[in-house]
Amino acid sequence: MSESTSPNDFAKPESITGGCLCGSIRYRANFPKDHDFLKMSGSCQCTQCRKNTGALIFMAHTVALKDFTYLAPTTTLKNFNATPGIQRGFCTNCGSYLYWRDESRDDLELAVGTVDAELLSEFGFALANASGNNVWCQNEIKGVTDGIVGKERGVKWATSSEEGTRM
C-alpha cells in the first residue's frame, strides 16, 4: 500500500479486464457505484485452492455474475468441480485458474492475479486488500502465511465463512 493509499482512501475502478496467461480467455468485470471493495476482497488458504493456484494464499475478489462478461469466445474455458456444486474455472490451453464459484450463488470469486497488470498497479488495493472474509485460516502455515492476510483487516475464519468458526 502506498503512502497515499489507506483503507479509507483508495482508487476504485469502474471496471477491470483480465484473462488467462495465453490470452484465449478475456473478461471484463464492471462494478456498480455502491460496490463494497473492502467487503468483497478476501482470501482462501484451503488445500484445494493451494493445489489449484499453486500459491499459498488465493486472493479473490467477489464479482456479481451480471457484472461479469467474456470478451471473446470461451472455447478453452473448463470448469472443474473438486467439490460438488463448486466450479473452478480454468483455461485448458495454458492452465490459468480464473475463478471459484458456488453454483447456488449469483457471484464468483475472481482470481485477482488474472487482472491485467496495468490495472493491478492502479487498483491492486481495491481488489486484493483482504478486508472481507479470509477463509480456511486453520490451514495457515505458521511463520509464513499466518501474518500475511487478515491480521489487521478482514474476518479470519477457521474454515468457510458460512460453516466456520471466527478466529
pLDDT at 161 (0 to 100)? 86
Instruction: State the Cα angle at 37 between 36 and 42, rounded to 5°.
Output: 115
Q: How many domains does the chain have?
A: 1
Measuring CA to CA, how many Å separate 109 from each of 139, 142, 160? 19, 25, 14
Q: Cβ distance 97 to 108 under 8 Å?
A: no
CATH number at residue 22: 2.170.150.70
- Measure CA of the first residue to CA of the last residue in the chain; give whole Å: 25
Task: Give the pLDDT confidence of 127-146 residue by residue, as tens digits.
Answer: 999 999 999 999 999 989 88
Q: What is the residue type of 52? A: N
Average pLDDT over residues 24-39: 97
Task: Give the pLDDT confidence of 79-101 residue by residue, as tens digits.
Answer: 999 999 999 999 999 999 999 99
Average pLDDT over residues 118-123: 97
Question: 162 pLDDT band (50/70/90 cuts)?
Answer: confident
pLDDT at residue 1 tops 50:
no
Query: Would residue 6 count as lying in a domain?
Result: no
pLDDT at 146 (0 to 100)? 83
Query: What residues form DSSP beta bridges with 43?
Result: 59, 134
Q: In terms of residue numbers, what domain contains 103?
A: 15-156
Query: Would residue 121 count as lying in a domain?
Result: yes
